[in-house]
Structure 1
């Protein structure tokens, strides 16, 4: 393959790799803004107290219903242990919590916008000091 032809093939791939990190950072920044609707009930800083809802620091990768010191609903206690919060489960939860765990005490209709949910999840994946 000639160099110009190789550059035509490799240039988009290199650009995608180089641009991936800023895009993820931008999603997390957008997620931080979108998360403002959640701060009345949830904290995200390490060691911050639970509020009406549990502290969400380190939620990605954690089993549902296991935040230390939080009193979960009976529905979350019964079904939450089978759920691990990952981007897919968080997306479903953020879209409509009551569809994931009927009877949850989380009185929130959900975030209908998929891009906004993805941004919130990107924010939750970033450690908050």
Structure 2
């Protein structure tokens, strides 16, 4: 598992450098890919948990949502590093996750999405 986590951290490191340039309005457009499974309203879960307040929330912590065991036991908080790594390659960053989305491959789109997620408070 450490090999996967390290590769996720490398991905996160690349994405983090671009995050300062992320555009929340463009990120809102990128989020349309996520909206089929994730709501932005507080307390509204879909196939995936609500993204409201995701920034600085412990992983696997949305009440009423049934997480995979790896997510429930992740032990980290959703910050720039972890969100970037997970959203770039979910199954590599957290093997065993239920999230089927393959990841945001373009660094600029990932930076924009991170900037948007940060506004959902």
TM over 0.5: yes
Q: Pick the structure with greater CA Rg.
A: 1
- SS of the counterpart of 2:92? helix
Structure 2 stretches lacking a partner, 5+ long: 1-20
Establish whether residue 91 from structure 1 lines up as the match of residue 87 from structure 2.
no
Tell me the TM-score normalised to structure 2 length.
Answer: 0.78
| Superposed structure 1 runs of 4+ greater than 6 Å apart | none
- Partner of 1:70, secondary structure, is coil
Q: Kindly report the root-mean-square deviation, in angstroms, between the aligned alpha carbons of the 2 structures.
A: 1.4
> How many aligned residue pairs are there?
101
- 1:109 corresponding residue in structure 2: 102
Of Structure 1 and Structure 2, the greater helix share is in 1
Structure 1 gaps of 5+ residues are 1-22
- CA distance in 1 between partners of 2:98 and 2:92 (Å): 12
- Taking structure 1 as the reference length, what is the TM-score of the superposition? 0.73
